[in-house]
Structure 1
Amino acid sequence: MGILNLTPDSFSDGGKFNNEKSALEHAGKLLKEGAEIIDIGPQSTRPNAEFLRADQEIERIGNVIALIKKEFPEALISLDTFYAETVKFGFNEGIDIINDISGGHYDNEMFDTAAETKLPYILMHVNPSYETMHDKIKFADITLSVNQYFSEKTAELLEKGVNDIILDPGFGFGKTVEDQMKMIDEVEFLGFEKFPLLIGISRKSFIYKPLGKSALDVNEETQKLHLEVLKQGAKILRVHDVAETKKTLMNFLEL
């Protein structure tokens, strides 16, 4: 899964792809490098990011989804939003996957909308409100806590008729460095092997800050972690550096 941020304020590539021409070019680059899914994000969820309403997200997306679908019909598109209204817009434009970082917490209509569209739904572990999204919580047992969350949320989704669920443990959201490294070590135990696991650690601060590096300078370290989670059963990697991750994936397949 290659990341296409349409935001002017994302932490590592803000403003680079927030017009139709550059967004289309970047989508083409990601696909050429080996991405199978393009994850379109109209709103940054980094700490202290600008908060957008659903209508502002939709305005920012504009024709980008339709243009990518027309130019690259083979591409799968996931839409990174926590608004049901944005999902409905995206569904009409041709998206293939809902990527909701909020686990339905930030919009009460999200699960119903996922059921109506019958699109695959990415369920991420996160703190229960937008305001506390990045508040660091020290969990007694991070793996147990994430699995309890997944158990409760997937039961709710299944009851509503959402059967195609992908799990995301939520690296970079309200977790200590220690807990995130513990999650890396225990990926094989996340999600009970019932649903595919998505791992999104690309350019996350728990990797680069302890090393005293920047988000753009930890590709080697990130690829080592990618290989580790692949060995433990991760099915989707959400990344900025598709070409390098493709090499990691090929190395994994040769093991």
Structure 2
Amino acid sequence: MKTQSANHKNSHFSINCRGTLIDLSVPKVMGILNLTPDSFSDGGKFNEEKEALKQAEKMLKEGAEIIDIGPQSTRPNAQFLSAQEEISRIGNMISLIKKEFPETLISLDTFYAETVKFGFNEGLDIINDISGGMFDEKMVETVGKTGLPYILMHVNPTYQSMHEKIIEDDIILNINQYFSEKILGLKKFGVKDIILDPGFGFGKTVEQQLQMIDELQYIGFGKHPLLVGISRKSFIYKPLGKQPLEINEETQKLHFQMLEKGAKILRVHDVAQAKKTVDEFLKIN
């Protein structure tokens, strides 16, 4: 066993989703459900209600415990949507999934307070905000009012700059300073359950992202559960000269490494493979 991951081995994290305590001592798989016609990997396939419901069911059967609904693509050069457009894209999706699969936790990938309010009324469990509350000044306050767990991602300060590689100091130091500051702000508004996402694929060089994997155990000082989202990210496939759908093996190796270093949630497109990785990890540990 690696000593460096020891501080995470005994971390018993739980999050409160609408009164239900979710134990994260066993890592969870979060399946990505894109409702976007322009998503970088499965664009347009699941943007119709029936298809989306079928895809959600498939991911749940394969072992996902959280479904992350994304109404807006945040890949480089994606179309920018307003909160209203997001809400109309989501439609009844949250309540439909909740009705069909009541045990499922639903997370909503948005940086808008209005979308969060809408999602909350539909039965949402977790807020997944790539913007760290920086793209909408009402976001943090709104999150506090819902009482839902919040995924805080490390990102550059604006929508326009989120993919620019502008971080020059040590990436781990940069991420930890950002998290310390943002957590204080969230706590001021009464946000209790915070999950940290170091923001793979957002404004970091390949080298910085490899360092993030190597030193994941130092991110957040073991005080909050960590979510990692490396599924189909270019820092893995581009150096290998491969396509996003050709890197499953490499991705699972990296997933395993990050589970060893304390990751509690894997945000993925390929649920069955990620679930297998989690099971292998649990067998060994």
Which bracket does the TM-score occupy, shorter chain normalised?
over 0.9
1:24 to partner: Cα distance: 0.3
3-state SS, counterpart of residue 195 of structure 2: strand
3-state SS, counterpart of residue 85 of structure 2: helix
1:198 to partner: Cα distance: 0.2
1:10 is matched with: 39
1:160 to partner: Cα distance: 1.2
In structure 1, distance between residues paired with 2:189 and 2:95:
29
The 5 Å alignment of 1:33-72 reads: 33-72=62-101
1:137 to partner: Cα distance: 2.1
Aligned partners of 1:137 and 1:176 also within 8 Å: no
More strand by share: 2
Paired residue type of 1:218:
I
Q: Cα RMSD (Å) of the superposition?
A: 0.5
Could you say which structure has the greater relative contact order, defined with CA pairs below 8 angstroms and 6 or more residues apart?
Answer: 2
2:17 is matched with: none
Paired residue type of 2:207:
E
3-state SS, counterpart of residue 29 of structure 1: helix
CA offset digits 1:108-149 (Å, max 9, x no partner): 000000000000000000000000110012432000000000
In structure 1, distance between residues paired with 2:82 and 2:278:
37
In structure 2, distance between residues paired with 1:237 and 1:250:
13
1:228 aligns with 2:257: yes
1:207 is matched with: 236
CA offset digits 1:47-81 (Å, max 9, x no partner): 00000000000000001111100000010000000
In structure 1, distance between residues paired with 2:166 and 2:221:
23
1:254 to partner: Cα distance: 1.1
Q: Which runs of 5+ in 1 are unaligned?
A: none
In structure 2, distance between residues paired with 1:170 and 1:138:
13
1:156 is matched with: 185
3-state SS, counterpart of residue 238 of structure 1: strand
2:142 is matched with: 113
In structure 2, distance between residues paired with 1:217 and 1:9:
20
Paired residue type of 2:191:
V
Paired residue type of 2:69:
I
Q: Which of 163, 171, 184 in structure 1 is aligned with 2:200?
A: 171
Aligned partners of 1:114 and 1:121 also within 8 Å: yes
In structure 2, distance between residues paired with 1:26 and 1:225:
25
Q: 4+ runs of 1 displaced by more than 4 Å? A: none
**TM superposition score normalised by structure 1:** 0.99
In structure 2, distance between residues paired with 1:219 and 1:67:
30
In structure 1, distance between residues paired with 2:168 and 2:148:
32
Q: Which of 153, 156, 162 in structure 2 is aligned with 1:127?
A: 156
3-state SS, counterpart of residue 268 of structure 2: coil
2:49 is matched with: 20
3-state SS, counterpart of residue 188 of structure 1: helix
Aligned partners of 1:2 and 1:30 also within 8 Å: yes
1:100 is matched with: 129
1:73 is matched with: 102
Paired residue type of 1:240:
H
1:136 is matched with: 165
Aligned partners of 1:33 and 1:242 also within 8 Å: yes
CA offset digits 1:199-234 (Å, max 9, x no partner): 000000000000000000000000000000000000
Aligned partners of 1:82 and 1:104 also within 8 Å: yes
Paired residue type of 1:234:
A
In structure 2, distance between residues paired with 1:192 and 1:139:
21
Percent of aligned pairs with the same residue? 73
In structure 2, distance between residues paired with 1:126 and 1:169:
8
3-state SS, counterpart of residue 210 of structure 1: helix
